[in-house]
């Protein structure tokens, strides 16, 4: 053991060698411990590239309801106004973490799921993306019973 510590610490006296080795080992362990992210987070996921942007509802404004807007970033989503499938389950006006997964693609449409984390819970909402006339990007969020359509601004 003395030979090993002497090799690790060089030609330092025996009392200094083990102390130096201990300091170096503790420093490396602290660096590794503090340098690692120990949060319970899912692997890095993002929104599909074609979803990123500001989406405005195609619904007309009424006296009691403001049409909704979705601002989708690389791994975030902000919901403002009235968005029918997202009205009751999500906090409005703040940036929420989110990602998407594409489930199906045909020649005209891409279908998938938006995963949005709000108040510690990840909730899912289906979407359909397509191009309208003139290469306008459109997005429908929700299912057949409750949905809303958006146009990319």
Please give the class, per CATH, of domain 49-152: mainly beta
- Residue ranges of the domains in the chain? 2-35, 49-152
Measured CA distances, 36 to 29, 39, 86 (Å): 11, 9, 35
Going by C-alpha positions, the residue among 106, 95, 100, 104 that lies closest to residue 48 is 100
Check whether 6 has a pLDDT greater than 90: no
pLDDT in tens, 91-135: 999 999 999 998 888 878 999 999 999 999 999 999 999 999 989
Q: What is the pTM of this model?
A: 0.69
């Amino acid at each position: 053991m003395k030979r090993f510590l002497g090799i690790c610490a060089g030609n330092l006296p025996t009392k200094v060698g083990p102390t130096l080795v201990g300091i170096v080992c503790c420093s490396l362990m602290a660096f590794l411990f503090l340098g690692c992210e120990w949060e319970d987070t899912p692997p890095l996921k993002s929104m599909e590239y074609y979803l990123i942007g500001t989406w405005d509802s195609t619904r007309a404004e009424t006296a009691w309801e403001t049409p909704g807007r979705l601002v989708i970033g690389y791994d975030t989503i902000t919901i403002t106004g009235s968005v029918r499938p997202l009205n009751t389950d999500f906090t409005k006006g703040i940036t929420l973490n989110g990602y998407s997964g594409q489930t199906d693609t045909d020649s005209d449409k891409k279908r998938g799921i938006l995963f949005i984390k709000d108040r510690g819970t990840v909730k899912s909402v289906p979407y359909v993306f397509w191009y309208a006339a003139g290469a306008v990007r459109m997005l429908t969020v929700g299912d057949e019973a409750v949905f809303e359509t958006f146009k990319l601004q």
